């Protein structure tokens, strides 16, 4: 994929006919109008994405992008980047947090090495390594634009593969030590926000470590003049291959008409990149939860997304996305199975205003 080809991509609008049918069905069910709150809006949106009122979400997976980030050399994390490979391999064995949570709700976990520094072993891990980790963006750009484009293309291709395998809805996940730094750098650059206020502690930093992390991001934004840059240049300068790959998944979801569920701040930063690169992809996104990082809420608000889980989580890996699926199952059970007002022979509730 070239920059020019990326710019030519067009996102189709949601299917308003399907959305209207789902909205009418929900209003006709014997329950209070908008009684399921945000979940009703999610069901309507999913219908618009899939183009049918027969919403399908049984065949689903969390797509986890794994990559290392050279910026860890600046002391912005509590652990070394060796943890990325260890957790990635553990995911491949089905033993990480996201595997446990996904298994509890009938969800697959599909893992891709898109840029882990070390060679990864495991038959359940897709090897799509663009390069063995990004460079230290304090010293030079994290990657080339061509590498960022390759990661975007890989993410989009993965969604096409999932569509062909029958998946109906996908969650996003990541693993990459240092990626709260890259996510904060990307988001602050694109939104014009001060890193001193928006950068959090990630997996856990001392006050000194947090100050260092914020300073590294602020210097890089100034060094590369990212306040004036487009999303692709920002991504290449201070982003990560995991973020680029997830952005590709999000673009692929919109092109393939598959709903994409975001996890936390990393995937939200990737969503912002994707929507800046290909305007309109936000219509195809669902927000699972609002994470602990200060930027998470800001990013979701910028994208016009409302999360339904507020649990102060900071687990990563796609665990928040996995947690949304059983909640959607419950909402779908009401949508599909509940009796209507007519069936129960009771007076229909009137809608006086949109909630």
Between residues 345 and 327, which one has the greater pLDDT? 327
Q: 240, 69 in Cβ contact below 8 A?
A: yes
Give Dmax over CA atoms of the chain in angstroms: 71
Confidence of residue 354 (pLDDT cuts 50, 70, 90): low
pLDDT for residue 78? 81
Q: For the whole model, what pTM was predicted? A: 0.96
Confidence of residue 253 (pLDDT cuts 50, 70, 90): very high
Per-residue pLDDT tens for 53-67?
Answer: 999 999 999 999 999
Q: What is the DSSP string of 157-226?
A: HHHHHHHHTT--EEEEEEE-TTHHHHHHHHHHHHHT--HHHH---TT---HHHHHHHHHHHHHHHHHTTG
Alpha helices (H) along 29-81: 38-50
pLDDT for residue 201? 77
Q: Alpha-carbon distance 177 to 69, whole Å? A: 7
Is 80 exceeded by the pLDDT of residue 52?
yes
pLDDT for residue 351? 80
The mean pLDDT of 112-140, rounded to a whole number, is 94
Catalytic residue among 123, 317, 342, 347: 317
Confidence of residue 241 (pLDDT cuts 50, 70, 90): very high
Q: Give the chain's domains with CATH numbers.
A: 57-329 (3.40.50.10210)
Is residue 12 among the annotated active site residues?
no
Q: Alpha-carbon distance 247 to 148, whole Å? A: 10
């Amino acid at each position: 994929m070239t920059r020019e080809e990326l710019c030519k991509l067009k996102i189709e609008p949601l299917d308003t006919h399907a959305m209207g049918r789902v909205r009418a069905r929900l209003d006709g069910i014997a329950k209070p109008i908008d009684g399921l709150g945000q979940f009703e809006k999610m069901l309507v949106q999913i219908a618009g994405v899939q183009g049918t009122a027969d919403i399908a979400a049984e065949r689903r997976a969390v797509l986890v992008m794994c990559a290392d980030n050279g910026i860890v050399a600046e002391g912005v994390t509590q652990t070394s980047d060796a943890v990325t490979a260890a957790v990635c391999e553990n995911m491949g064995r089905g033993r990480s947090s996201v595997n446990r949570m996904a298994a509890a709700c009938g969800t697959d976990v599909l893992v891709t090495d898109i840029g882990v520094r070390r060679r990864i072993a495991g038959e359940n891990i897709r090897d799509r390594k663009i390069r063995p980790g990004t460079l230290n963006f304090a010293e030079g750009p994290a990657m080339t634009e061509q590498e960022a484009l390759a990661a975007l293309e890989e993410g989009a291709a993965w969604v096409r593969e999932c569509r062909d395998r029958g998946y109906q809805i996908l969650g996003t996940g990541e693993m990459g030590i240092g990626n709260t730094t890259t996510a904060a750098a990307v988001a602050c650059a694109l939104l014009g926000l001060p890193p001193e206020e928006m950068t959090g502690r990630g997996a856990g930093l001392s006050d000194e470590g947090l100050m260092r992390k914020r300073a590294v991001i602020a210097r890089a934004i100034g060094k590369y003049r990212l306040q004036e840059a487009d999303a692709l240049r920002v991504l290449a300068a201070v982003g990560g291959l995991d973020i680029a790959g997830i952005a590709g998944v999000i673009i692929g979801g919109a092109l393939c008409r598959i709903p994409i569920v975001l996890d936390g701040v990393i995937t939200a930063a990737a969503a912002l990149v994707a929507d800046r690169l290909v305007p309109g992809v936000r219509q195809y996104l669902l927000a699972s939860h609002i994470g602990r990082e200060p930027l998470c809420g800001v990013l979701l608000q910028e994208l016009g997304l409302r999360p339904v889980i507020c649990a102060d989580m900071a687990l990563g890996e796609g665990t928040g996305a996995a947690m949304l699926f059983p909640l959607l199952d419950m909402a779908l059970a009401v949508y599909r199975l509940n009796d209507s007002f007519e069936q129960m022979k009771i007076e229909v509730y009137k809608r006086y205003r949109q909630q």
